[in-house]
Amino acid sequence: MELLKIDRLSIGYGSEKILADGIDLTIEKSNLIGLVGQNGVGKSTLIRTICGLQSAMSGSIQIDGIDLSQLSPKVIAQKISVVLTGKPDSLNLSVLELIALGRHPYSGWLGNLSKKDKEVIDRAISQMEINYLAKKRLYELSDGQLQKVMIARALAQDTELIILDEPTSHLDLKNKIEVLDLLKKIADSGKAILISTHEIQLSAKVCNQFWCMDFGKDLLIGNPVELIKSGELQNYLHIPREILT
From first to last of the 245 residues of the chain, give the pLDDT tens digit.
689 999 999 998 866 688 889 999 999 999 999 999 998 899 999 999 999 888 899 999 999 999 999 999 999 999 999 998 888 888 889 999 999 999 988 876 666 788 899 999 999 999 999 999 999 999 999 999 999 999 999 999 999 999 999 999 889 999 999 999 999 999 999 999 999 999 999 999 999 999 999 998 999 999 999 999 999 999 999 888 778 76
Our measurement of the distance from residue 181's CA atom to the centroid of its chain's CA atoms, rounded to an integer in Å, reads 14
Does 119 reside within a domain? no
Note whether residue 154 is domain-resident.
Answer: no
Answer yes or no: is 167 within a domain: yes
Q: Which of 209, 206, 204, 160 is nearest to 183 (CA)?
A: 206
Nearest to 40 by CA among 15, 17, 16, 56: 17
Residue 108 in any domain: the answer is no
User: What is the domain extent for residue 195?
Assistant: 2-88+161-244
Q: Which sign does the torsion angle of CA 232, 41, 175, 193 carry? A: negative
- Number of domains into which the chain is organized: 1
Rounded CA-CA distance 30/21 in Å is: 27
Instruction: Report DSSP state, residue 170.
Output: T
Q: What is the DSSP letter of 152?
A: H
Question: Which CATH number goes with the domain that contains 43?
Answer: 3.40.50.300
CB 77 within 8 A of CB 157: yes
The answer as to whether 111 is a domain residue is no
Q: Rounded to an integer, what distance in angstroms lies between the CA atom of residue 239 and that of residue 244?
A: 8
Q: State how far the Cα of 79 lies from the Cα of 72, in Å rounded to an integer.
A: 11
